[in-house]
Structure 1
Amino acid sequence: MGPDPDAQEHRPPPLDVLRPLGADLFDVLTAESLVDVHVLDRELSVVRSASSPARLGLALSVPEVRQALRTALATGAPVRGLQCAVRRATLSVSAFPLRGPDGGALGLAATVTDLTARERAEHRVGLLEQASAAIGSSLDVFRTAAELADITVPAFADAIAVDVLDSVLHGEAPAPGPLLDAVTVRRAAFAAMPGADVAGVHAIGGVRLMRRATPYADALADLTPRLVNDLTGLDQEEWLERDPKRAELFRRNSAHAMLVLPLTARGVVLGLAVLYRAGESEPFDDVDVDMGKVLAARAALCLDNARLYTRERTLARIAQRDLVPARVPHSRAVETAHTYLPVAAGGTWFDVIPLSGARVALVAGDVQGSGLRAATAMGQLRTAVHAFAAMDLEPAELLTRLHELTARLAMEQQHAGPEYELAAGCVYVVHDPVELRCEAAAAAHPAPVVAVPGAPPYSLDVDQGPQLGSGTASYRTTSVAMPADSLLALFNRGLVPGGDPAALESRLAGLRDRPLRQVCDAVVGALLPQGPEDDALLLLARTRTLGPDATVSWTLPDDPRSASRARRLVAGQLAEWGIDGEVAVAAELIVSELVTNAVRYASGPLDLRLIRDNALICEVTDTNSASPHLRLADENDEGGRGMYLVGRFADRWGTRALARGKTIWAEQRLT
């Protein structure tokens, strides 16, 4: 059978014909590929390459890659996705053995993929995630700047300097817009790679005037980043010629690239961050500039939050200082000394309030939280305490009314902003130097510590009522004897963490007899050796007594003639005390009207008491609980002028409710 004529048509073409066709096919398949494709012989030399062999050369310069390719030739096992980092590039190498008809290795088909762009993108995303989580963990300017520096070096730059406007540290800021004039900046943070020569770098906290006609000032002038990638050509930079110290610093560290980023938030300039690259690091590019802008924006927003917090805290401190007594009023009932440390700008307050009958009220209170709201709430509560104290309310009733007021304030604040919850505590103590007794009530506040002569200090057993404005008002007044020369200590939890008074009691034990100022300083120094972390308060009061030489009392019958007898008794006592003139005449008139009023509207005997203190105090106590009111009588009225006359001749007068009845008192200042 003869040869098939068609067989000649299906024979494979000669090799010398297929080789050009294979090369053309190789070029076609790899022309549009994003992957470099190469054919290597057994010696790892390039036989055929569809692209520049530069990246392959970088990969083959890595010993681990060459070893993996030789292993593939020897074993026939392919290499897939072997990554290597060389000269700041990340490459992925794969290789597949090429074998001849006899199964022997002819060479390798190798691919090289440049992962540098993807790695940089992933690095940027990771860096931004870290920055979002790490920057702004506190409301402190220096810490926020340090967090920016820690994120940046070495992940993004070889060194960074963060400067903020000096006014930012005080809570202030310039007007919105660029800064065209010279400004004072303060170094807030600096970081550099290990081994960097940082001699001559501005110290953290250092202040300097920002020079004009420099990339730094230019960035603040138009709020546009400045990229300088030719710091090595120092002779060409005029601004560096004017700053030889900075130029020398760049030379020592081989700094060649600089990126200046203005820090702005809410349209306000806060400072600038300057990033440097040195040595073999690549210069900054446009992608780096965009990345730097994002980091700077994040840091600037956190810095502005810190600035606003500082501003509010400063205003709160000013308000707090203005709302607490700058000078404690003098009282013959007690000698006082205090230490008040409002470090947290919160709502801690205290007061010493003179009361009727030569008594005195000692107050300590705390509004939880800090800032203007806490300080404002503190001022409102302190004013209310003064108003209620002027009504001569006993401690439990005063705290009950203060509780109701706090509840109303809390409701108003919730309408204004539910993010703030008003919570407050208070302790209110009244000392009577005539009766030598103390009455106290507390609302979620540490009880006073008492040190009486001849006994160890102890905490006053005061029933703790609920927090002011929270729950149902339930307060009790505790009454205890308080001998003269006893020591009362009112304090807050900032002085004694947790409110445990044991440490305060032990300190007072050995200091009770010292001058109050020394006692106050010694106790605070011992309890807070490192300084307070929160508002701290210590109010000390040493009790005094008004003895028989300063007080006198009589019991008068329920008889209209008691008024004339009261005038005679008062006149005689005033003469004995050496009080005469207009004061004595007015006192006789006041006593006459008060006794007449008591005889007319009350029943049973009445008590008359005179107290000589800073003022002459006249008190009339009867069994009628109804309080008199000042009114103006008409011309034809026969009565109604008694309390008007009392109010006219007395400097102060009022009514003090008792368990049974009341006391009407009137004061006249003594010169």
Structure 2
Amino acid sequence: MDGHKEQGGARQGFDVADAAPLLLDPHGLVTGWTGHAERLLGHAAAEAVGRKFADLLESADAERMDDVLARCRTGSDWSGLMTARHRDGRPVPTAVRVAPTTAPQGRPAVLVLLSELGDTAQGWDMSRDVLEQIVAGNPIGIAIVDTDLRYVWSNAALEQFGGGPARSRVGRRVAEVQPGMDSAAVEQRMRHVLETGEQVIGYESVGRARSAPLRETAHMVSFTRLEDHRGEPTGVYYTVVDVTDRHRARQRLALLDRAGEFIGRTLDVMTTAQELADVAVPGLADFVTVDLLETVLKGAEPVPQPLAGSERVPLRRAGHRSLYEDLPRTVVDSGAVVTYLADSPPARCLATGRSWRQEQLDPLAVEWAVGAPDARESTFLELGLQSVMIVPIRARGITLGLTTFFRRRQSPFEADDLHLAEDLVSRAAVCVDNARRYTRERDAALVLQRSLLPRRLPDQDAVEVAACYRPADELTGLGGDWYDLIPLSGARVALVVGEVPGHGIDAAAAMGRLRTAVRTLAAIDLPPEEVLAHLDDLASRSAREDGDGEGAGEGDDGAVPGNSVGSGCLYVVYDAADGRCTMAAAGHPAPAVVAPDGTVGFVDLPQGPPLGVGGPPFEAVELSLAEGSTLVLHTDGLLAHGEGGTDEAGRERLRQALQGTERALRPSCQAVVDALVPAHPEDDVALLMARTRRLAPEQIAAWELPPDPAVVADARRTAQDQLSRWGFDEEQMFTTELLVSELVTNAIRHASGRVRLRLIRERTLVCEVLDGGASAPHLRHPRAMDEGGRGLLLVSQLAERWGTRFVPDGKIIWAEQPLTTPRE
């Protein structure tokens, strides 16, 4: 049989049958030669016997033989590598093992085993003692299990993971030795290795080893199949390395990465606090609470001075997260107020700004909080919460609140856990502070916006209204578009929609200036085209005044913030007495009109130039609207979000949206905006819808009067009769008689042409006198001895409001009184 082969396949590793043996005497002379040695070195027995073995080696190795033989004479063996010389002169690298022995005659001898270095495994020449030292002294845990996955051998290093000494493991399985580890997954991989022969390298097993039952540990395990000389599996050889530190470091990095991804996704303080709690459970703790100072939740600036540890500190529960459902509601209620007792650990953390950790809560510790009876250490112990960390939430050197971490079943918090918690909370603190500052700025912006836009449209009987506003700057809610409804005298209303170039607070400030100007001009009852003319002058004058600042406060593009040049405005006046509607536009889209039958049209309105840019004068149009018609006033942002970029395409989209709306006005207004405008528009959008009403004929009484002083008495009696039919009491009838007398007398005395008296009963009682005069009356303050000039002074004292407005055929002086309860 070939010395390198045997039935069943090639030999693996070292085998004595593969070596070429020869015998030396104590002085190194060859005394025995074999055929295997002849095949290896090419020398016949007759040529080799009697020669020094050193003569068969390379010169360097020949010198080493003397030392090797001397070692053998002391009873020690030797193994190593040498280069022999073949008979044909070529070098033969060999592995050599030299050991003392006894010749057949009982004389001392030296046994030499030679093996050519080729495909055989290197290291076979090591002695068993050396191999055992390597295995037994290895710090890596090593074990062998049989095909039933039962231990047959393990080294001493495996004992560091618990489970007893090596002898106690024999015959047992992994689940019996380490019940806290994931034994099912480990054995599954062992079976895979036995079945396939594939190695499994670097499998990470996480659990609780018997050596550290309260602490989660991680081990790196590698599996290799063991085979006999026929290649049949005989078991699994595996190694174990403790990689807990690396595992925990990776967990910490993953937790911080998750914190960076999930904390601070919004600019809401409560949401940010809850995100902090969500990230920390279960990666770091079983139960987490986040408590913030009340000033932080309101967006106010926290007190920079540290709180005194002897003070009771009220906080608000802003976020919490727990693995358990058995915690009392008072502990986990978001928004609940928790007041920490003086000198308690939370109070000290707030006062010092330093973290606090306790591995095991003290059963005798004092209560932490008042006002929340379940927030006590004794209760925490009853709930099984054993270990705690408190980390102040600090940003820019100011304490904003506290984050408290609890563990129930995990191992107690260690110093590394506290460092991780501090890192996590410090990242979240920046987000909380950003959210706080945003809350403050947004609240200020909303206050500004509420002061600029009407909180609610005033009650009146001329139109039913609904409005919708969607700013492009969703963070601040500020924009340059606005709408307004202004009650006017004589059952009339002004409907206004406008827009200022730009977005944000600068545009809002400019819008506020224009809106205030519009309301001021509306109060003096100017026609729409004159209102726009005055606004145009205001925009031009403001631009000139802002330009005198030599660039102070200019933006990057050179534009002055808050400038209203280029603004658009649509001003509409609707009269509920006769259904007439007058409007004018400055660089603004014309309104749509939805008829009572649902058909949609657009007003043919002359377009004036934008405010402040100069151009032709503004023109007004007048039309009559049927009762139940809906005026649709909007800014150009409503039509700027479709695929078609033309005005006609935008109008068509608006037409379709208006045709599909409900009869109820408020839902219709919101539905139109939702249909035409995305949730986050690029331009501000304002929409004002007004459904017209008409006063009933019985609410109006009018008389044409000749310009004769004698008709004043008749006018008083006529007015008195009408008020009597309407059911007013005598006091209001007397007041109205005085007003009619003064207004009619003033018209006849100072004007020319026809005189018309009209009474309107709406939300107020309005008395109007029209005359053909073109000059406005002036209120005088006569002296005690003056005989005249007291008429308008009397009117101003008797009426709640009074004024003058000009119409094409003259002027109207009007006075309003509040309605008293009509008599039955």
- TM-score, normalised to structure 1, is 0.66
Q: Match for residue 83 of structure 1? A: 204
Q: Match for residue 517 of structure 1? A: none
Amino acid at match of 2:407: R
CA distance, structure 2, for counterparts of residue 647 and residue 105 of structure 1: 119
How far off is 1:506 after superposition?
Answer: 2.0
Q: Match for residue 276 of structure 1? A: 406
Per-residue Cα deviation, 1:188-225 (whole angstroms, up to 9, x for no partner): 22211155544552422223333322222222112222
1:255 equivalent to 2:385? Answer: yes
Q: Match for residue 591 of structure 1? A: 751
Q: Match for residue 161 of structure 2? A: 54
Q: How does 1:25-424 map to 2 (within 5 A)?
A: 36-37=139-140, 45-47=153-155, 49=157, 53-54=160-161, 61=178, 62=183, 65=186, 79-87=200-208, 88-94=216-222, 111-180=239-308, 181-194=311-324, 196-198=326-328, 200-231=330-361, 233-235=362-364, 237-239=365-367, 246-279=376-409, 281-323=410-452, 335=462, 349-354=483-488, 360-364=493-497, 376-387=509-520, 389=522, 395=528, 415-416=554-555
Q: Match for residue 595 of structure 1? A: none
Is the contact made by 1:655 and 1:663 (CA closer than 8 Å) also made in structure 2?
no
Counterpart secondary structure, 2:341: coil
Amino acid at match of 2:484: F
Per-residue Cα deviation, 1:79-112 (whole angstroms, up to 9, x for no partner): 5223211322222133678999999999998654
How far off is 1:438 after superposition?
Answer: 0.7
CA distance, structure 2, for counterparts of residue 576 and residue 64 of structure 1: 109
RMSD: 6.0
Counterpart secondary structure, 2:572: strand
Distance change (3 Å), C-alpha of 1:97 and 1:460: closer
Per-residue Cα deviation, 1:506-563 (whole angstroms, up to 9, x for no partner): 236xxxxxxxxxxx8x9999999xxxx999977666344899954659xxxxxxxxxx
Is the contact made by 2:280 and 2:288 (CA closer than 8 Å) also made in structure 1?
yes
569, 580, 595: which is aligned to 2:707? Answer: 569
Is the contact made by 1:173 and 1:269 (CA closer than 8 Å) also made in structure 2?
no
Amino acid at match of 1:381: L
Q: Percent of aligned positions with the same letter in both sequences?
A: 27
1:462 equivalent to 2:620? Answer: no
Counterpart secondary structure, 2:707: helix
Is the contact made by 1:316 and 1:346 (CA closer than 8 Å) also made in structure 2?
yes
Amino acid at match of 1:127: L
Q: Match for residue 3 of structure 1? A: 52
Is the contact made by 1:55 and 1:112 (CA closer than 8 Å) also made in structure 2?
no
How far off is 1:158 after superposition?
Answer: 0.8
Amino acid at match of 2:413: F
- Unpaired runs of 5+ in structure 1? 31-35, 509-519, 554-567, 593-606, 631-645
CA distance, structure 2, for counterparts of residue 151 and residue 20 of structure 1: 55
Is the contact made by 1:215 and 1:226 (CA closer than 8 Å) also made in structure 2?
yes
Bigger relative contact order (CA 8 A; separation at least 6): 1
Is the contact made by 2:317 and 2:334 (CA closer than 8 Å) also made in structure 1?
yes
Is the contact made by 2:338 and 2:369 (CA closer than 8 Å) also made in structure 1?
no
**Bigger CA drift: 95-104 or 251-260?**
95-104
- TM-score, normalised to structure 2, is 0.55
CA distance, structure 2, for counterparts of residue 441 and residue 416 of structure 1: 32
Amino acid at match of 2:693: R
Amino acid at match of 1:462: V
Is the contact made by 1:177 and 1:269 (CA closer than 8 Å) also made in structure 2?
no
Distance change (3 Å), C-alpha of 1:321 and 1:372: same
Is the contact made by 2:292 and 2:316 (CA closer than 8 Å) also made in structure 1?
yes
CA distance, structure 2, for counterparts of residue 396 and residue 459 of structure 1: 25
Amino acid at match of 2:201: R
CA distance, structure 2, for counterparts of residue 545 and residue 178 of structure 1: 69
CA distance, structure 1, for counterparts of residue 331 and residue 498 of structure 2: 48
Counterpart secondary structure, 1:163: strand
Q: Match for residue 27 of structure 2? A: none
How far off is 1:266 after superposition?
Answer: 3.7
How far off is 1:402 after superposition?
Answer: 6.0
CA distance, structure 2, for counterparts of residue 400 and residue 212 of structure 1: 67
Amino acid at match of 2:385: A
Distance change (3 Å), C-alpha of 1:75 and 1:37: farther
How far off is 1:361 after superposition?
Answer: 1.8
Q: Match for residue 571 of structure 2? A: 428
Is the contact made by 1:441 and 1:463 (CA closer than 8 Å) also made in structure 2?
no
Counterpart secondary structure, 1:45: strand
Distance change (3 Å), C-alpha of 1:436 and 1:217: same
Q: Match for residue 580 of structure 2? A: 437
CA distance, structure 1, for counterparts of residue 710 and residue 454 of structure 2: 40
Counterpart secondary structure, 2:401: strand
Per-residue Cα deviation, 1:239-284 (whole angstroms, up to 9, x for no partner): 36996763454234421211212223344443222111111x1222
How far off is 1:314 after superposition?
Answer: 3.5
Is the contact made by 2:395 and 2:426 (CA closer than 8 Å) also made in structure 1?
yes
